[in-house]
């Protein structure tokens, strides 16, 4: 049985505050994470969990990172962008670029009418007037599973590798 241990490291916090913080980070047997945490292939890149596209700047200095192959790393990018865009549309209640406050999402929706149409079609107004979105299932499933696998690998050193490499 492989045991986990923890080590305490001192890291600088954000540039705004020069205080020192302690971070407890799990250390498992590295053989468990020898390859891509998503598919088991040879790892060639590092992947942030959660991805930076899902966060606002400035990013935390100690953002969790796991090993990934290039196919998985790139394979999740489109789905993560879809989710980040969907979150912004849901936040403002519209897929109309004029109403979108995030510049990146606004410009993307202006350039990609098909994506804007997808979000417009996913928009639902309930009987009480509240707005919500029913997004495409594949993208949501892929991102949730990527986050779950990435966090399991980082926190527990327990990668849950997919049986097939399709995203």
- Where helices occur in 93-161 by DSSP H, the ranges are 103-111, 113-122, 137-156
Q: What angle do CA 155, 46, 162 make, to 5 degrees?
A: 65
Residue range 65-99, pLDDT digits in tens: 888 899 998 999 889 989 989 999 999 999 999 99
By C-alpha distance, which of 55, 49, 56, 52 is closest to 147?
A: 49
| Mean pLDDT of the 51-63 span | 82
90-148, pLDDT tens digit by residue? 999 999 999 999 888 999 899 999 989 999 999 999 999 999 889 878 899 999 999 88
């Amino acid at each position: 049985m492989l045991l986990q241990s923890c080590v305490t490291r001192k890291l600088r916090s954000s540039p705004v505050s020069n205080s020192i913080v302690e971070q407890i980070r799990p250390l498992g047997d590295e053989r468990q994470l020898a390859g891509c945490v998503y598919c088991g292939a040879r790892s060639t890149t590092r992947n942030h969990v959660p991805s930076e596209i899902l966060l606002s700047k400035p990013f935390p200095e100690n953002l969790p990172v796991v090993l990934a192959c290039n196919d998985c790393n790139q394979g999740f990018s489109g789905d993560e962008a879809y989710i980040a865009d969907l979150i912004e549309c849901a936040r403002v209640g519209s897929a109309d670029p004029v109403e979108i406050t995030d510049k990146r999402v606004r410009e993307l929706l202006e350039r990609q009418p098909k994506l804007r149409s997808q979000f417009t079609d996913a928009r639902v107004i309930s009987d009480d007037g509240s707005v919500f979105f029913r997004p495409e299932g594949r993208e949501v499933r892929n991102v949730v599973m990527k986050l779950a696998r990435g966090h399991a690998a980082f926190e527990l050193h327990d990668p849950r590798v997919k049986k097939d490499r399709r995203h």
